[in-house]
Amino acid sequence: MRALGLALSYAASGLVLLAAAAGAIAAAGCDPAAAAAGFARGAFGSVYGLSEVVVRATPLALAGLGVALGFRAGFFNIGSEGQIYLGAAGATATALLFPGLPPWALAPLCLLAGAAAGGAWAAVPGLLKARFGLSEAINTIMFNYIAINLVGILVRTLLKDPANPLPMSPRLPEASFLPVIVPGTRLHAGFLLALASAAFVAVLIGWTKAGFRMRAVGLAPRAAAACGISVAGNVLLASTLSGALAGLAGASEIAGVHHRLLEGISPGFGYLAIIVALLGRNRPAGVVASALGIAALQVGSTAMQRSAGVPTSIAWIIMGLLVALILARPTLFRSLIGAEGGKR
Partner 1 sequence: MSSLGELSTFAAASVRMATPLALAGLGEAYSERSGILNIGLESIILSGAFCGFMAANATMSLALGVLAGVAGGLLMSLLHAYLSVSCRADQTIAGLALNFLAAGLTSYAFLLRFGKSTDLPRCPVAPPIAIPVLSDIPLLGPALFDQNAFAYASFATVALSVLVFRRSEWGLSLCAVGESPQAADSVGLSVERTRYAAAAVNGALGGLAGAAITLGSLGFFMENVSSGKGYIALVAVILGRRQPLGVFAAALLLGAADALQFRAQAMGLGIPSQAFIMFPYVATVLVLLFSIGKGSEPAALGKSFDRSRR
Summarize as ranges the residues that interact with partner 1 (CB under 8 A). Answer: 24, 27-28, 76, 78, 128, 132-135, 137-139, 141-143, 145-146, 149-150, 152-153, 156-157, 271, 274-275, 278, 311, 313-321, 323-324, 327-328, 330-332
Residue 230 CB neighbours (<10 A): 14
Classify burial at 10, counting beta carbons within 10 Å of its beta carbon; exposed 0-12, middle 13-18, buried 19 or more.
Answer: middle
- Give yes or no for a contact between 43 and 49, defined as CB atoms under 8 angstroms apart: yes
Shortest distance (Å) from residue 249 CB to partner 1: 18
Shortest distance (Å) from residue 150 CB to partner 1: 7
Shortest distance (Å) from residue 294 CB to partner 1: 11
Shortest distance (Å) from residue 311 CB to partner 1: 5
Give me Rg for the CA atoms of the chain: 21
Separation of alpha carbons 319 and 31, rounded Å: 21
Q: Smaller CB distance to partner 1: residue 289 or 332?
A: 332
Q: Smaller CB distance to partner 1: residue 36 or 181?
A: 36
Q: At 78, is the secondary structure helix, strand, or coil?
A: coil
Shortest distance (Å) from residue 31 CB to partner 1: 15
Q: Smaller CB distance to partner 1: residue 16 or 112?
A: 16
Phi/psi for 114 (5° steps) reads -60, -45
Q: Residue type for 327, please?
A: L
Catalogue the long-range contacts made by 130-133 (C-beta closer than 8 Å, 24 or more residues apart): 130/231, 130/232, 130/233, 130/235, 130/236, 130/239, 131/232
Q: Smaller CB distance to partner 1: residue 24 or 115?
A: 24
| Cα end-to-end span (Å), the chain | 20
Separation of alpha carbons 133 and 17, rounded Å: 38
Count CA within 13 A, CB hemisphere, residue 320: 6
Q: Smaller CB distance to partner 1: residue 5 or 311?
A: 311
Shortest distance (Å) from residue 178 CB to partner 1: 29
Shortest distance (Å) from residue 153 CB to partner 1: 5
Q: Smaller CB distance to partner 1: residue 216 or 275?
A: 275
Separation of alpha carbons 182 and 50, rounded Å: 11
Shortest distance (Å) from residue 328 CB to partner 1: 5
Separation of alpha carbons 256 and 239, rounded Å: 25
Shortest distance (Å) from residue 75 CB to partner 1: 13
Q: Smaller CB distance to partner 1: residue 127 or 182?
A: 127
Q: Smaller CB distance to partner 1: residue 232 or 323?
A: 323
Q: Smaller CB distance to partner 1: residue 79 or 190?
A: 79
69, 123, 143, 162, 338 from 131: Cα distances, Å: 20, 11, 18, 43, 41
